[in-house]
Amino acid sequence: MSAVSRTVAPEEEGKRLGKFALGAMGVSHRCLSSLKNAGGVLVNGVSRHADFILHAGDVVTLEMPEDAGREDVAVVPEEGEAPVVWEDEYILVIDKPAPLPCQCSCRQAGGTLENRLAWRYRDEPGFLFRPVNRLDKGTSGLMAAAKDRHVCQLMQARLHTEDYVREYLAVVEGRMEGEGTFELPMRKEDGASIRRIVDFERGARAVTHYKTMQPGERYSLVRLRLETGRTHQIRVHLSYAGHPIAGDFLYGTELEALPGRFALHASRIRFRHPLTGEMIELRSPLPGPLAALLNS
């Protein structure tokens, strides 16, 4: 069983326990109801009712039940590269290699980042991989995951805000210059399994900010920041602009120099820790094979 605690601040004096848990601690109504029924909402170590009045200095603890695990597929630990570049007891940040799928599925039970992390944390009871955001198989770079359900929910609520920022580097075809914003609504292509398209009538809002870092005649290096998080958003926006990502088999042209992947890399992640309030910022350099394209 994991536990999350927070001390009541002087300005929070007189708050009811239930409202404190929902607000300051960020639990959902459903989660709070489950915790109350199990006696898992404590003040100074004693189980209390939701109407209990709090005082400054009280320590509120939520005793989270153990995760039951995935019901759709059995995750088998597999030894392999899974670079964890930062972690504490609640969160880990991985610099994902490519090509490597993030999670197992009914169609692919092995050969994923999830399998490798299951091996890495095989001696940590109850470990589950809970990605806050996902990267495509062909995309490398930084992604965050939570070690329990509550922290995952808190972090996902911050996606696409200033408290959770993701930046990418892409090597794109042709000479791309300047900076700006793509505001190109997207939807799933009719009859397609994964392919997305720009559709100004039926598409959902999709916004990507870009800045060209190194223009070139054959390839250009572009920095991108997501404002929304649609599936394949960066890939679709760049392709629509006439500069598909190098090696993108779905929206551009596959490259022998990049087997199984394309030239997109999650290079920077910055997020506010949902429990400590600390701002965490990490960077990952452009992988060698992608950098080599710029000089080819």
Instruction: For residue 201, give every residue at least 6 positions away whose Cβ sits within 8 Å of its Cβ, in sequence order, or none.
Output: none
Do 166 and 155 form a contact (C-beta atoms < 8 A)? no
155 touches 132 (CB < 8 A): yes
Please give the Cα distance from 225 to 243 (Å, whole number): 16
Given the residues 95, 136, 148, 248, select the one marked as catalytic. 136
Give the integer Cα–Cα distance in Å for 177 and 221: 9
Give the alpha-carbon dihedral of 95, 286, 247, 271, to 10 degrees.
50
Other Cβ atoms less than 10 A from the Cβ of 43: the count is 19
- Residues composing the chain: 296
C-beta separation of 72 from 107 below 8 A = no
Q: Is the backbone peptide bond immediately before 185 cis, with ω within 30 degrees of 0?
A: no
Helix (H, G, I), strand (E, B) or coil at 15: coil
CA–CA separation, 47 and 139 (whole Å): 46
Beta carbons within 10 angstroms of residue 137's beta carbon:
17
Phi and psi torsions of 12, nearest 5°? -100, 5
Q: What is the dihedral of CA 193, 197, 200, 204, to 10 degrees?
A: 50
Identify whether 51 is a catalytic site residue.
no
Biggest CA-to-CA distance, the chain: 68
Active-site residue list: 136
